[in-house]
Amino acid sequence: MVDDRKLAVLRAIVEDYVATEEPVGSKALVERHGLGVSPATVRNDMAVLEDEGYIHQPHTSAGRVPTDKGYRLFVDRLATLKPMSSAEKRAISSFLDGAIDLDDVVQRSVRTLSQLTHQVAVVQYPTLSRSTVRHVEFVALAPTKALMVLILSSGRVEQRLVDVPGGDLLTSGLDDRLLADLRTRVNRVAAGQRISDATTALRALVDEVVPADAPVYGVVAEALVEAMSDHRRDQRVAVSGTAQLARYGDDFDRSVRPLLEALEEQVVMLKLLGEASADGALTVTIGQEGPYSELSATSVVASGYGPQEAMASLGVVGPTRMDYPSTMASVHAVARYLSRVLGDV
């Protein structure tokens, strides 16, 4: 068990190493952090921390640097989210509020996160399977053709042209009734439902209508199911801030080069974000805790986002020597604002 004094020493080592990029010595810790003990006592504490694997000495006569285990203890017990200034909060809110569609929301979010953290930011597009149906609209375009518009809770909009058999949607009477009936019935069974439940309800709807309308409902149901099953964009991610990696010149071969290669693979980026989207919690994956051994010098701070529950993940990827408190606060803030913006779409 690490006592409070040794925790204070570890905190100081982490903060100084992140700030200076240099191994930290006992004299510097006493001078900078007012630990209230002598350098000799600090050296003893550092020796204990080193024996327990929280810090290590990169070379003889050098100071100490944190290990992955040390960063983990720092994050779990010592790091607190740095409060964002009012100006930062207003900047995030106003920038995201100006988005015009889902693509714009995601692109603005990833740029904002990179600018706040000075790291590489990654935002996953909202996952279709976790969305709910917000509304379905039908617009007549030609005697036997209609435009179907599917609006999801993620802010995503899917449009499909539907060729309607056996009817004239532009004439009065039955066909006007049919359009109104389509809107009412489809939204009654689908609106507010998860994708999986909505598809089941839509297929069952065909059996509820009069036989003359069944062919039209069958075509519409299949078009909606197809739109809801379109997972082509579920695995998309937006990335911003790769230029930030230039700040880590000394660590290029060890941490930056593998990360640059990983950024080209969206599947890798999604796996790095991990299970953060499962419950919307903020997660920190440090070094060798990650899924790829070649990225063992990389840390990921991630969070799920979504208006009611997490639909996807966003996060920051960078070398383990990062400012965890500020990064965690920024990821948390952008996830919260993005969730609110999507809820207003």
Domains of the chain: 4-78 (1.10.10.10), 86-127+234-344 (3.30.450.40), 130-228 (3.30.390.10)
CA 60 to chain centre: 41
Per-residue pLDDT of the chain (345 residues; tens, 9 = 90+): 678 899 999 999 999 999 988 899 988 888 888 888 888 999 999 999 999 999 999 887 778 999 999 999 999 988 788 888 888 888 888 888 878 778 888 999 999 999 999 999 999 888 766 678 888 998 888 777 888 888 887 677 888 888 877 654 544 434 777 788 888 988 998 888 887 788 788 888 888 887 877 888 888 888 888 877 754 555 688 999 887 776 665 565 566 677 777 777 777 787 888 765 555 678 999 998 988 888 888 899 999 888 766 678 899 998 899 999 999 999 999 999 988 887 765
C-alpha distances in Å from residue 88, one per residue of 174, 268, 299, 336: 57, 31, 24, 14
Return the axis-axis angle of helices 195-205 and 214-228, rounded to nearest 10°: 170
- Taken in order 93, 321, 6, 284, is the CA torsion positive or negative? positive
Determine the Cα–Cα distance for residues 126 and 234; give it in Å rounded to an integer: 7
pTM attached to this predicted model: 0.75
What would the two tokens of residue 270 be?
A: 């999604």
Helix (H) or strand (E) holding 272: helix 266-273
CB neighbourhood size of 251 (10 A): 18
